[in-house]
């Protein structure tokens, strides 16, 4: 079957995200663009991210039809399909209900780069989708999320969770992990009465090229995969 490498990376992505706290029982999902433009490979519904194996994955067409795989698709597939249709540069998407970002987005405060992690989202920042806190069930809602996202690497879904995107799974997953860390650090600073200082937007754009060039994102991803391998072999 085509897309073998992408599907193996999608399984790793699910496991990495689960280990990093992005699993919400069986909810939250990840997708990667399928070869030949047929749709997206996705985590199926009904299983936790840490449970996913290659045979569990489903190929979802642009209209939501399951084209391959024996499991059911998540109802929120339009998050992934509509963003990928709107953004030809996006090859992978993550949607999770990670607690830090969900709490943070209720504060109506911009995420600012108080640490390395925040610079990853410069210069666009992390826009917030506010039209509904309900599930994203239709193409129209998916289009609205894509419009909020614009050219950013991530968006908050207020009262719901996050969406992160990247050219591939390495970039989309690392964005999700960095966003969680950035939110946790800013929440901690806010709880202590701050933040009072942070990296300027101009400096963050430069700093980002030093702290998160592609090679270092890959190193982070490889480390996370090795960590999972060690845990499964222990
Ligand atoms: Zn959701």
Which single residue is written with the structure tokens 């999770």?
Answer: 96
182 pLDDT band (50/70/90 cuts)?
Answer: very high
Ligand 1 centre from 43 Cα, in Å? 13
Strands 66-68 and 161-166, by their bridges, are: unpaired
Ligand 1 centre from 74 Cα, in Å? 9
Ligand 1 centre from 42 Cα, in Å? 14
56-83: average pLDDT: 98
Ligand 1 centre from 59 Cα, in Å? 19
> Please, which residues bridge with residue 166 across strands?
92
Ligand 1 centre from 209 Cα, in Å? 31
The helix/strand/coil state of 40 is strand
Ligand 1 centre from 76 Cα, in Å? 7
Ligand 1 centre from 218 Cα, in Å? 27
What's residue 44's pLDDT? 98
CA atoms 220, 221, 225, 228: torsion sign: positive
Ligand 1 centre from 193 Cα, in Å? 31
pLDDT at 123 over 70: yes
- Cα dist. 167→32, 60, 91, 214 in Å? 9, 19, 5, 11
146 pLDDT band (50/70/90 cuts)?
Answer: very high
Residues making up the chain, counted from first to last: 234
Bond before 12 cis per omega within 30 degrees: no
Backbone angles phi, psi at 61, to 5 degrees: -70, 170
User: How far apart are the C-alpha atoms of 21 and 233, rounded to whole Å?
Assistant: 21
User: Half-sphere exposure of residue 217, counting CA atoms within 13 Å on the CB side?
Assistant: 20
Ligand 1 centre from 22 Cα, in Å? 11
Residue 82's nearest CA partner among 11, 5, 138 is 138
Ligand 1 centre from 89 Cα, in Å? 23
Q: Which residues contact 26 (CB under 8 A, 6 or more apart)?
A: 45, 46, 47, 48
115 pLDDT band (50/70/90 cuts)?
Answer: very high
Ligand 1 centre from 124 Cα, in Å? 23
User: How far apart are the C-alpha atoms of 153 and 140, rounded to whole Å?
Assistant: 21
Ligand 1 centre from 96 Cα, in Å? 6
172-179: average pLDDT: 98
pLDDT at 234 over 90: no
Mean confidence (pLDDT) of the chain: 97
Count helices and strands in the chain by DSSP H and E runs: 8, 8
Which pLDDT tens digit goes with each residue over 30-61?
A: 999 999 899 999 999 999 999 999 999 999 99
User: How far apart are the C-alpha atoms of 225 and 104, rounded to whole Å?
Assistant: 28
233 pLDDT band (50/70/90 cuts)?
Answer: confident
> Please, which residues bridge with residue 20 across strands?
none
2 pLDDT band (50/70/90 cuts)?
Answer: low
Q: What is the CATH number of domain 4-217?
A: 3.40.225.10
Ligand 1 centre from 132 Cα, in Å? 12
């Amino acid at each position: 079957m085509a897309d073998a490498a992408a599907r193996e990376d999608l399984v790793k992505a699910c496991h990495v995200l689960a280990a990093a706290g992005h699993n919400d029982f069986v909810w939250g999902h990840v997708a990667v663009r399928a070869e030949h433009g047929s749709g997206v490979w996705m985590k199926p519904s009904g299983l936790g991210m840490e449970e996913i194996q290659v045979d569990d994955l489903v190929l979802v067409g642009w209209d939501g039809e399951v084209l391959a795989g024996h499991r059911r698709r998540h109802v929120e597939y339009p998050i992934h399909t509509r963003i990928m249709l709107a953004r030809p540069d996006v090859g992978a998407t993550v949607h999770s209900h990670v607690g830090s970002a969900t709490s943070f987005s209720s504060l109506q405060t911009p995420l600012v780069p108080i640490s390395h992690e925040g610079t990853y989202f410069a210069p666009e920042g992390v826009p917030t989708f506010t039209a509904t806190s309900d599930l994203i069930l239709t193409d129209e809602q998916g289009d609205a999320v894509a419009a909020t996202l614009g050219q950013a690497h991530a968006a908050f879904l207020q009262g719901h969770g996050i969406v992160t995107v990247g050219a591939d799974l390495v970039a989309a997953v690392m964005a999700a992990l960095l966003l969680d860390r950035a939110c946790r650090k800013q929440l901690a600073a806010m709880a202590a009465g701050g933040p009072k200082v942070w990296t300027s937007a101009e400096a963050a754009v430069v700093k980002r090229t030093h702290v998160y060039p592609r090679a270092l994102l890959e190193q982070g991803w490889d480390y996370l995969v090795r960590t999972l391998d060690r845990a499964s072999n222990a």
